[in-house]
């Protein structure tokens, strides 16, 4: 949800869209530095969250951060910006910080995995008192980015000492573009069986619900409105009715204009899919 005009405005927008759980950026997502959050803005944010009864479940880190960077200067810059993201989430009492593991830029996969794990070990030991769960997002595998195979996420987590402070965000567009066929029943169950075997379903903190503009296995990350892409209604019907995930926040990252009316359409579509199943049971 956009924070144009200050972080607290996200809650007014979320309320208008009928959302119950949202994700925000806590700063401009394309800039390294940001002014510290002002006390009045923090208070307004927490007040609005209560007033509208909307949970701000996650903040998403800035797009410039690369915790796998082989460039020493960029890695250092990324790590300190990541720490700032943790602090901002803590200040706003946001439980999860979602981030893409990183891009190896030509390094062997094992090295990239190690670098991300080292970055996380450093961040966690630098913030022993933080309440923020560092939440690795599954990626489409575009370019040299890692995190498109469940095994890569598991390998990162295995190399982090305080792995109980980590969780996973499953992005439907990304896993589909990475080659997991969640668009039909067999592929859907096979995907989550694999996830369970490799990482463990109990590590899923949240979902990003996005349809995919690109085909299965394309490894191209382009979000589409729910039901209008290559995943289609069936994949989302399976997910929103899966009893294993009923209490897991599901968050839209679909394209939208400034008035956010598209959120209402996409939420309506998902609610209808959940309703279909319920009326089938009632019938």
Binding site for Zn ion (CB under 5 A): 171, 208, 253
Rounded to the nearest 10 degrees, what angle do helices 72-91 and 109-126 cross at? 40
- Cβ closer to Zn ion: 48 or 251? 251
In the complex, the smallest distance separating the C-beta of residue 223 from Zn ion, rounded to whole angstroms, is 8
In the complex, the smallest distance separating the C-beta of residue 280 from Zn ion, rounded to whole angstroms, is 30
- Cβ closer to Zn ion: 190 or 253? 253
In the complex, the smallest distance separating the C-beta of residue 137 from Zn ion, rounded to whole angstroms, is 5
- Cβ closer to Zn ion: 61 or 84? 61
- Cβ closer to Zn ion: 8 or 10? 10
Q: What residues form DSSP beta bridges with 270?
A: none
Q: Report the C-alpha gap between 54 and 278 in whole angstroms.
A: 24
In the complex, the smallest distance separating the C-beta of residue 43 from Zn ion, rounded to whole angstroms, is 29
Question: Which DSSP helix (H) or strand (E) runs through 171?
Answer: strand 166-171
Dihedral of the CA atoms 236, 241, 247, 248 (nearest 10)?
-20
Q: What residues form DSSP beta bridges with 55?
A: 21
In the complex, the smallest distance separating the C-beta of residue 111 from Zn ion, rounded to whole angstroms, is 25
In the complex, the smallest distance separating the C-beta of residue 208 from Zn ion, rounded to whole angstroms, is 4
In the complex, the smallest distance separating the C-beta of residue 77 from Zn ion, rounded to whole angstroms, is 23
Q: Report the C-alpha gap between 187 and 171 in whole angstroms.
A: 16
Question: Which DSSP helix (H) or strand (E) runs through 239?
Answer: helix 232-240
- Cβ closer to Zn ion: 49 or 138? 138
Compute the C-alpha angle 254/226/166, nearest 5°.
Answer: 60
Q: Report the C-alpha gap between 239 and 276 in whole angstroms.
A: 13
The residue nearest Zn ion at its CB is 208
Strands 211-212 and 223-224: antiparallel
CB 169 within 8 A of CB 135: yes
- Cβ closer to Zn ion: 8 or 212? 212
- In sequence order, the 6+-apart residues with CB closer than 8 A to the CB of 168 are 135, 136, 137, 138, 153, 199, 203, 204, 205
- Cβ closer to Zn ion: 8 or 22? 22
């Amino acid at each position: 949800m956009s924070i144009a005009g200050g972080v607290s405005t996200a809650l007014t927008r979320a309320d208008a869209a009928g959302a119950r759980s949202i994700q925000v950026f806590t700063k401009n997502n394309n800039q390294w530095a940001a002014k510290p959050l002002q006390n009045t803005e923090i208070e307004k944010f927490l007040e609005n969250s209560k007033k509208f009864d909307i949970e701000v479940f996650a903040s998403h880190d800035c797009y410039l951060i690369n915790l796998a960077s082989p460039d020493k200067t960029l890695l250092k810059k990324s790590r300190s910006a990541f720490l700032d993201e943790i602090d901002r989430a803590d200040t706003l009492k946001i439980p999860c910080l979602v981030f893409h593991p990183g891009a190896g830029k030509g390094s062997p996969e094992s090295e990239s995995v190690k670098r991300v794990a080292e970055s996380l070990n450093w961040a966690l030991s630098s913030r022993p008192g933080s309440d923020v769960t560092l939440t690795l997002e599954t990626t489409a595998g575009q370019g040299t980015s890692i995190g498109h195979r469940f095994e890569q996420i598991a390998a990162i987590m295995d190399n982090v000492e305080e792995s109980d402070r980590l969780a996973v965000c499953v992005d439907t567009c990304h896993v589909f573009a990475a080659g997991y066929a969640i668009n039909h029943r067999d592929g859907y169950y096979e995907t989550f069986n694999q996830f369970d075997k490799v990482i463990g379903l109990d590590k899923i903190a949240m979902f990003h619900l996005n349809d995919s503009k690109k085909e299965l296995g394309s490894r191209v990350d382009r979000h589409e409105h729910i039901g209008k892409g290559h995943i289609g209604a069936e994949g989302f019907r399976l997910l929103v009715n899966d009893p294993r995930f009923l209490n897991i926040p599901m968050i839209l990252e679909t394209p939208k204009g400034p008035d956010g009316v598209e959120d209402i359409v996409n939420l309506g579509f998902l609610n209808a899919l959940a309703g279909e199943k319920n009326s089938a049971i009632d019938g």
